[in-house]
Amino acid sequence: MPMPSIWPCACVREYIENPLPGRIGFVKVSSYTDEQDMERACVGTASCVVIDCADDDVTAAAALYVCNRNPDVHVITYFNNQKMGSLLQKHFPNIEPMPSVATEMLAKSAMDPGSSALFHELLNVDRGMTQYSAEYQGLAGIELGLLFHSFKERYEATIIGVCDGRGESISINPPLSTVVMPGMLIFYIADERIKHIEWEKMNVQPVIR
């Protein structure tokens, strides 16, 4: 019987035991492109799939299968060869290649001591993630400065970046005069995810341009 699609589910080829029984589903497959096996993992109804295989060719095959089986799914992939991830993204925009940042983190910590601790705090799932994103769902364009102050006053959250919604042109620490249009993504730091952002109650004026 397929797992309920609202459950997180681990899907593996190698024989291992479920690392979190009772908290996640667990599916052992013979291949990441086998229709019956992947159906048990509810790939067709998943909202997000993370693919991290030891071999880039296997990762690519799995990503292609998932995107063809579920065109609306958000696919996060990790490739040793980042060019392969970029190539797939050109054909399937819903694929988000995850780059390795280990070397960059080492260099940043050497220049600015404590940077590694900051990155770890932002990403540590055990202590609660502090970086989130949300789609701006206002009815008109808004100056970032107005949203920035509203987020801080209403939610104790700090906006750190925006992008066009496809993740292709992320702007970190953009000018407060930046116009945020409906559908754009807002990246922010907070103690927890803001589950319901009341855009209409932020007392902000739309930008007419």
Residue 2 has pLDDT above 70, yes or no: no
CA dist., res. 65 & res. 193, Å (int): 31
With 0-12 / 13-18 / 19 or more C-beta atoms within 10 angstroms meaning exposed / middle / buried, residue 78 is middle
Tell me where in the chain the CATH 3.30.70.1450 domain(s) lie: 101-209
Once rounded to an integer, what is the mean pLDDT over residues 186-197?
89
pLDDT digits (tens, 9 = 90+) for 131-163: 888 999 988 888 999 999 999 989 999 999 998
- The per-residue pLDDT for 125 is 63
**Per-range mean pLDDT, top range of 6-10, 28-32, 179-183:** 179-183
- The per-residue pLDDT for 161 is 93
- The per-residue pLDDT for 192 is 86
The dihedral built from the CA positions of residue 34, 21, 18 and 76, taken in this order, carries a sign that is positive
Q: What is the mean pLDDT of the chain?
A: 81
pLDDT digits (tens, 9 = 90+) for 30-84: 888 888 888 888 888 888 888 888 888 998 999 999 998 998 888 888 888 878 8
Residue 205 has pLDDT above 60, yes or no: no
CA atoms within 13 A on the CB side of 57: 0
Closest C-alpha to 24, from 39, 37, 2, 6: 6
Alpha helix ranges (H) inside the chain: 35-40, 56-69, 82-91, 102-111, 115-123, 144-155
Residue 185 has pLDDT above 80, yes or no: yes
**Alpha carbon separation from 78 to 23, 177, 180, 209 (Å, rounded):** 24, 35, 30, 40
- Looking at per-residue pLDDT, the higher value among 175 and 201 belongs to 175
Tell me where in the chain the CATH 3.40.50.720 domain(s) lie: 9-97
Q: Which CATH superfamily is domain 9-97 in?
A: NAD(P)-binding Rossmann-like Domain (3.40.50.720)
Q: Does domain 101-209 have CATH number 3.30.70.1450?
A: yes
